[in-house]
Amino acid sequence: MKIEQQAEWDIERAKDTYGIKNWGNGYFDISPEGEIVIKNPKDTSSSGSSPGLSLMEVIEGLRDRDLHMPALLRIENIIDHSISRLNDSFGKIIERLGYQGSYRGVFPIKVNQQAQIVEEIAQFGKRYGYGFEVGSKPEMIAALSTLDSSSDQMLICNGYKDQEFIDLALQAVKLGTRCFVVIEALSELPIIIERSKVLGIEPLIGVRAKMTSKVGGHWNSTSGDRSVFGLSASQIIQVVDVLRDSDMLHCLQLLHCHLGSQIPNIRDIRGGVNEACRYYADLCNEGAAMKFIDLGGGLAVDYTGAHSQESQSRNYSLDEYCEDVVETIMSTLDSYGISHPTIITESGRATVAYSSILLFNILDVTRFEPVEIKTSGGEGHELLDNMRSIFDYLKPARVQECFNDAHYYRDEVRELFKRGQIGLRTRAEAENLFLKVLRGIKLLLPEMDQIPKELEGFDESLADIYYGNFSLFQSLPDSWAIDQMFPVMPVHRLNEEPDRRAVLADITCDCDGKIDRFIATDREYAPTLPVHSLKESEEYYMGVFLVGAYQETLGDLHNLFGDTNVASIRLREGGGYEFVKEIHGDTIEDVLGYVEYQPWEMKLRYRNKLEAAVNEGRIS
């Protein structure tokens, strides 16, 4: 759908249109040339802020490396910076408030288990003692093999644990890693006690409390009475009693609680921390040797940039989050005379979301516009005449009437077509006339004081469909599964005013494979995205931002589209960049193998078919 031109277009208007300043977190901007640039968060060049690295330059680099679209681009510096920011923010507030304990973050591996990400987090986190949270044996092995046991990085084991898992955790302690087994189910306790005796290793034990504080946002079922996670108050007391009877109460040192992911409202966080402190204080009173309070995840990412308490945003800054956590723990525990514990958080999405961008090109466009077709001549119909006559009374005062009439006549034509009373050409003419009327209505809308209710979804029905070279199910599963909105926009030509409005469709043949909710600065979301008309023989590139959390692992093989190409880059201070790693995406052979085909056998069978066709003289 064509956009009506407004006042002069410039880069500032481009930034406002796509809200990049709101959601970009300082990492992304638009250059005077109209290209999205990645800013080096640590750039200290003497000329002030460097211009940043153009995504178009990176796309060219990818092409030179034979890494075609779609591609996932990871930016190392952003992970590094996110870890520093989190740790520095806690550090600064701890110092300012005079908190007696320290902060030790851990990264929950489930948020992005890719080896390269885990390795980078271990490397960049080492200086802060930033460790990992794991929820399964494979995650545990990934963390153990990555962590440097000479470092002070912690390992928190959540999830269902059998003997093998617990043995791994005990061995980790023996190897020098501060590895906590967090009891999530009572059945784990006897195994921990027995295995620690058999192996002669004293465990580090945590308990996960079932939180009753309710939070807003999509993941609020993680807390509350019916939450499937954690132990109730009476179960925690059972754990304490059993440990005391086994002479192991001194091993219980950590309280774990997780209110939910992506908590948009800071007041909910405060309420949750308060409840956690009550558990912590009473565990101390019960005689446990408590030293650590682990508040789980929940630090939200402002995907929409709205800075609000809607589920895809957050109404607080990182500093406010850290301050509220530290201040609440401090004031609550001070009132009981309990010394300040080490604070652990398991921030997942806030650590990695910004570091990945999905890049793709547009393959094709469908426009809902009248086209030139040969008229039916003799096969004309009075319904077509009626439709044409609408143009005689198409004016602002009668827009609603024209809209209704156009729908009525078009639907009548469709009925007659179904009954075989008119031909395909007449129907095509009617559909064409219908689109012409809608276009006429659209031109009149700006002149109207009040737009009739029925015309409110008008934009959507005329929007173009831009077919993007990606699979939503593989690369943006949350967009499909939970209506997660990610910032999406063209990565170049932003010095040109976008002249079309579009929804995006992927290349799966699934009607759910589309994006039709976009970030808007003036309302909850926009149903269409401003884009540019495609140019003959020139690619049009788009990016989906903030996709570093959960998307890679949750993606699936719908229509057998496999993993995209992945490239990891590092921005150099003062300008320039280098490719750190490239991973070619799945081949057709790979994805067929995933679903139990034997590619060599398929080739053989196909070859036999060809040989038979040659023998029968059907092909040469």
**Sites of contact with ligand PLP (CB under 6 A):** 108, 111, 133, 158, 258, 261-262, 296-299, 346-350
User: Nearer to ligand PLP by C-beta: 298 or 490?
Assistant: 298
- Least distance in angstroms from the C-beta of 144 to ligand PLP: 18
d(CA 356, CA 205): 35
C-alpha 601: how far from chain center: 38
Give the pair of three-digit tokens for residue 241.
């009693």
d(CA 142, CA 161): 16
Neighbours of 574 (CB within 10 A): 12
- Least distance in angstroms from the C-beta of 507 to ligand PLP: 29
d(CA 92, CA 463): 49
Nearest to 304 by CA among 557, 517, 9: 517
Q: Please identify the residue of the shown chain whose CB is closest to the bound ligand PLP.
A: 297
d(CA 26, CA 30): 11
Nearest to 263 by CA among 318, 301, 306: 301
What is the number of H-type helices and E-type strands within the chain?
Answer: 21, 21
What DSSP state is assigned to residue 132? E
d(CA 133, CA 456): 47
Rg, Å, the chain Cα set: 30
HEC secondary structure over 269-330: HHHHHHHHHHHHHHHHHCCCCCCEEECCCCECCCCCCCCCCCCCCCCCCHHHHHHHHHHHHH
User: Nearer to ligand PLP by C-beta: 20 or 352?
Assistant: 352
User: Nearer to ligand PLP by C-beta: 304 or 469?
Assistant: 304
d(CA 551, CA 263): 18
User: Nearer to ligand PLP by C-beta: 239 or 344?
Assistant: 344
d(CA 222, CA 263): 11
- Least distance in angstroms from the C-beta of 128 to ligand PLP: 17
User: Nearer to ligand PLP by C-beta: 296 or 498?
Assistant: 296
Q: Which residue has the tokens 């977190």?
A: 25
- The CA distances from residue 29 to 22, 26, 318, 494, 564, in Å, are 10, 7, 21, 11, 25
User: Nearer to ligand PLP by C-beta: 271 or 298?
Assistant: 298
User: Nearer to ligand PLP by C-beta: 235 or 400?
Assistant: 235
What DSSP state is assigned to residue 72? E
What amino acid occupies position 470? F
User: Nearer to ligand PLP by C-beta: 52 or 348?
Assistant: 348
Q: Which residue has the tokens 């402002």?
A: 302
Task: Verify cis geometry, omega within 30 degrees of 0, for the bond prior to 487.
Answer: no
- Least distance in angstroms from the C-beta of 269 to ligand PLP: 11
131 neighbors 109 (Cβ within 8 angstroms): no
- Least distance in angstroms from the C-beta of 487 to ligand PLP: 18
- Least distance in angstroms from the C-beta of 586 to ligand PLP: 26
d(CA 272, CA 210): 11
User: Nearer to ligand PLP by C-beta: 80 or 346?
Assistant: 346
Beta pairing partners, 184: none
- Least distance in angstroms from the C-beta of 443 to ligand PLP: 46
530 neighbors 491 (Cβ within 8 angstroms): no
Q: Which residue has the tokens 């925690």?
A: 236
User: Nearer to ligand PLP by C-beta: 299 or 569?
Assistant: 299
- Least distance in angstroms from the C-beta of 329 to ligand PLP: 18
User: Nearer to ligand PLP by C-beta: 196 or 347?
Assistant: 347
Q: For the chain, how many residues are written?
A: 620
d(CA 163, CA 308): 45
- Least distance in angstroms from the C-beta of 296 to ligand PLP: 4
- Least distance in angstroms from the C-beta of 137 to ligand PLP: 16
User: Nearer to ligand PLP by C-beta: 103 or 403?
Assistant: 103
- Least distance in angstroms from the C-beta of 258 to ligand PLP: 4
- Least distance in angstroms from the C-beta of 513 to ligand PLP: 25
User: Nearer to ligand PLP by C-beta: 108 or 487?
Assistant: 108
- Least distance in angstroms from the C-beta of 354 to ligand PLP: 13
Give the pair of three-digit tokens for residue 507.
């290349």
